[in-house]
Structure 1
């Protein structure tokens, strides 16, 4: 078996292990829901469906990075628990994010709030009451997942000092995500313009910290890596998160919905403060279409006008250059860090996947 095939097989095994552990965690939540009101049990069932979907980016980043820095499977249990904790954290933030954005769907299906709303409408609830119940369900589901993520890490079978470090990593990631989400909501009010530096800072807090920096930091702690390795991975993780989110923002405006699975109008209708908009707003052309941005009544034609201005004023090109610059910086850090070859390959593969996702 070639080294590439063997690595792919290991990733497949780890993905199966993560799925099995997540099923066990969600089954435990479902069991603990028995005996409470039936609506709570329904909500926990919906929550389990949310957790068991998705791409497993964060958990597999933990597992793969840990494997490249560790010479045995002796710590597989703690690594698996920490990897799953990041999946729980991710889904907790998604549940809360959907509530904040008034979204009732996720991954093409009704999310926790959407399913709870539909359930009580079917039972005869008023429209307003049903929406309020859906919002409450989304918030509570996110809270349960946050608690479960902390519990997995704090009870993992690792030495006490290692557990404390891992709990701190998770806690720091939650605080950063909360600060980034709150900044996003603040700038969405239009009371204060969000320039390019603020957009990038929000991305680092809201996306990079918990999706890339924290998983890599946790993997390095589990593997007992030295401080130089941890510092290099921290900087790489920050830049990977920026690349990932900037590409996501571009796809949110210029991507093909049949390929990406997400609307190419949602960000424009919502008035999402992306780097595309921060750059476009500084040009004279933006005045012609600014009234369309953030309009709940945005039409296909209006969205196309916004895309045309964002493209023609050079904002799209500037974002692409930023993605290229951040990608080059990651490659330079990897080249100079002296990591083992397997870790180099992993990080560059994650970079390529983040920068060149389907259009």
Structure 2
């Protein structure tokens, strides 16, 4: 979910914004460490690991919010609140990653043990049986996500703005969390295979899982903090939806046809998991799919089986169809940007983000 074009964060946030964001994230994570200090050493270790993940991220969402807020506000209006909401989005992102890894039974992220994997390995080193160690790892992932969600909500609910603005920001975060939950649940439901997910459902799930919290929430929050009019906020919401769809469609293609050296993940994972993407939705309507359907979602999928699946997906025209959809979504986003009445600098920033979402290789 987080990386854009050789990764989207070359967003041109000001150096002072970068420094202040880093400082505020450190304050937030240091507070979590302080609160954890009075608890068991295993919990302290979990919080330390979480702090490192939050501080070490690419910060796409927070950087996007700050760059757009800076452009809209033309000053330092609500600067402290902008930092708090930016931090909240980073915490939300890491919370969803922790939960997503538990749902997918993943123990590695970007080549390193994730929250669950690290906790399970810690338990195993103490001589814990494999099953119990894995259960502890899953529990740690859920708890970590819950902790970060609660902290994100507290940051937004206590930011220093007027009551009306605070209420709108809380609503934005709440909408992002509910939509992400709905999208994740839909993904799990269609993963059962009892009900096929068509192209429309796939795109809707994409909006819920990715677009809302990664792009729409940062853009609309920036508009709210800058005190813009409803027209501008609505336009940014539409732009954010399109950016999120383009980003996730490219992510789905990279998950099957990407270079593992660049993406940091196997090209077998989505196929082995049975991930319901637009690629699969189109491919399963072709005659060739019946020959490989038994391979899709198989936990024992081999390299040869994955290559068979990739060949059928490509030959079905699904890859070409997804690329056409990406181009169409890009055209729509460009129209939304042109029609939004934004200043030239903000237009360029959003067009740059769009290009990176569409063209990234990792």
What is the aligned partner in structure 1 of residue 350 from structure 2?
Answer: 347
The correspondence for 2:68, drawn from 65, 72, 75, is 65
TM-score by length of 1: 0.96
What is the aligned partner in structure 2 of residue 311 from structure 1?
Answer: 314
Measure how far apart 1:55 and its partner are.
Answer: 1.4
Measure how far apart 1:155 and its partner are.
Answer: 1.0
What is the aligned partner in structure 2 of residue 54 from structure 1?
Answer: 57
After superposing the two structures, state which structure 1 stretch, 174-183 or 109-118, moved more: 109-118
Contact 1:50 1:112 (8 Å CA) reproduced:
no
The correspondence for 1:24, drawn from 1, 18, 27, is 27
The correspondence for 1:175, drawn from 170, 173, 178, is 178
Measure how far apart 1:197 and its partner are.
Answer: 0.6
Measure how far apart 1:8 and its partner are.
Answer: 7.3
Verify: 1:124 aligned to 2:127, yes or no: yes
Measure how far apart 1:343 and its partner are.
Answer: 1.3
The correspondence for 1:226, drawn from 223, 226, 229, is 229
Looking at both structures, which has the greater relative contact order when contacts are Cα pairs under 8 Å and sequence separation is at least 6?
2
SS in 1 for 2:196: coil
User: For 1:234 and 1:302, how far apart are their aligned partners in 2?
Assistant: 41
Verify: 1:215 aligned to 2:218, yes or no: yes
Measure how far apart 1:17 and its partner are.
Answer: 2.1
Contact 1:50 1:111 (8 Å CA) reproduced:
no
Verify: 1:42 aligned to 2:45, yes or no: yes
Gaps of 5+ in 1: 1-6
Deviation per residue, 1:92-135 (Å, 9 max, x gap)? 00000000000111222111111111111111211111111111
Alignment of 1:255-270 (within 5 A): 255-270=258-273
Gaps of 5+ in 2: 1-9
Measure how far apart 1:14 and its partner are.
Answer: 2.1
Cα gap change, 1:306/1:355 in structure 2, threshold over 3 Å: closer, same or farther?
Answer: same
Contact 2:220 2:236 (8 Å CA) reproduced:
yes
Cα gap change, 1:11/1:282 in structure 2, threshold over 3 Å: closer, same or farther?
Answer: farther
What is the aligned partner in structure 1 of residue 5 from structure 2?
Answer: none
SS in 2 for 1:273: coil
Deviation per residue, 1:224-281 (Å, 9 max, x gap)? 1111111111111111100000000000000000111121110011110000000001
The correspondence for 2:158, drawn from 155, 158, 170, is 155
Deviation per residue, 1:44-65 (Å, 9 max, x gap)? 1111122122211100110011
The correspondence for 2:93, drawn from 90, 93, 96, is 90
User: For 1:194 and 1:18, how far apart are their aligned partners in 2?
Assistant: 40
Measure how far apart 1:179 and its partner are.
Answer: 0.4
SS in 2 for 1:284: coil
After superposing the two structures, state which structure 1 stretch, 161-170 or 336-345, moved more: 336-345
The correspondence for 1:236, drawn from 234, 239, 259, is 239
What is the aligned partner in structure 2 of residue 321 from structure 1?
Answer: 324
Cα gap change, 1:189/1:8 in structure 2, threshold over 3 Å: closer, same or farther?
Answer: closer
Measure how far apart 1:317 and its partner are.
Answer: 0.3
What is the aligned partner in structure 2 of residue 299 from structure 1?
Answer: 302
Contact 1:150 1:170 (8 Å CA) reproduced:
yes
What is the aligned partner in structure 1 of residue 3 from structure 2?
Answer: none
User: For 2:168 and 2:245, how far apart are their aligned partners in 1?
Assistant: 25
What is the aligned partner in structure 2 of residue 4 from structure 1?
Answer: none
User: For 1:153 and 1:123, how far apart are their aligned partners in 2?
Assistant: 39
